[in-house]
Amino acid sequence: MTLQSSRSDKILVVDDSPDNVFLIKTILEEEGYTISTAENGISALAQLQASPCDLVLLDLMMPGMDGYEVTKHIRGDMKLSQYIPILLITAHDAPNVAHGLDLGADDFIRKPVTVDELLARVRSLLRLKHSMDERDEIARQREDFVSRLAHDLRTPLVAADRMLMLFQQGALGALSSQMQEVIAIMARSNINLLSMVNTLLEVYRFEAGRKTLTLQPVNLAQLLEEVAGELTPLIQDKKLSLNLELAEELKVNTIIGDRLELHRLFTNLIGNAIKFTDSGSVSIRLTCENQFGKNSQSIFSDYIRIEIADTGPGIPPEEQTTIFERFRQGTHKSSGSGLGLYLSRRIVEAHQGIILLNSELGKGSKFVVLLPQKT
Listing DSSP states for 175-203 in one string gives --HHHHHHHHHHHHHHHHHHHHHHHHHHH
**CA atoms of 38 and 59, how far apart (whole Å):** 10
Helix (H, G, I), strand (E, B) or coil at 81: coil
Whole-angstrom distance, CA of residue 334 vs CA of residue 315: 13
Determine which helix (DSSP H) or strand (DSSP E) holds 245, and give its type and residue range: strand 241-246
CA atoms within 13 A on the CB side of 11: 30
Rounded distance, CA 100 to CA 204, Å? Answer: 36
Q: φ and ψ at 85, to 5 degrees?
A: -65, 150
For residue 145, the one-letter residue type is: F
Q: Residues 4-47: pLDDT tens digits?
A: 444 579 999 999 999 999 999 999 999 999 999 999 999 999 99
Segment 192-220, tens digit of pLDDT: 787 777 777 777 777 766 677 888 999 99
- pLDDT above 90 as % of the chain: 39
State how far the Cα of 350 lies from the Cα of 209, in Å rounded to an integer.
11
Q: Whose CA is closest to 55, among 105, 114, 21, 102?
A: 105
- Per-residue confidence (pLDDT) for residue 5, from 0 to 100: 46
Span 313-338, average pLDDT: 69
Q: Could you report the per-residue pLDDT of 215-267, keeping only the tens digit for each?
A: 899 999 999 999 999 899 889 988 999 999 988 888 878 899 999 889 989 99
Amino acid in the structure at residue 254: T
d(CA 281, CA 366): 12
Closest CA to 233 of 285, 190, 270: 270
Report DSSP letters for 295-306, one per residue: T--STTTTEEEE
As a whole number, mean pLDDT of residues 336-362 equals 85
State how far Cα 92 lies from the chain centre: 44
Would you give the distance in Å from CA 277 to the centre of its chain? 29
In 3-state terms, what secondary structure has residue 34?
strand
Q: Determine phi and psi for 64, rounding to 5 degrees.
A: 75, -115
Whether 255 and 220 have beta carbons less than 8 Å apart is answered as: yes
Cβ count near 282 (within 10 Å):
28
**H helices of the chain, where?**
18-30, 41-50, 67-75, 98-102, 115-168, 177-207, 220-237, 259-275, 317-320, 340-350
98-119 confidence digits (pLDDT tens): 888 899 999 999 888 899 999 9
Opening angle at CA 343, ends 340 and 344, nearest 5: 85
Cβ count within 10 A of residue 301:
15
**Cα angle vertex 118, ends 77, 29, to 5°?**
85
34-38 sheet: strands from edge to edge: 34-38, 10-14, 55-59, 86-90, 107-110
Confidence of residue 87 (pLDDT cuts 50, 70, 90): very high
Instruction: Please choose, from the candidates 351, 348, 347, the residue with its C-alpha nearest in 3D space to the C-alpha of residue 369.
Output: 348
Q: Is the pTM for the entire model greater than 0.75?
A: no
pLDDT of 83 > 70? The answer is: yes
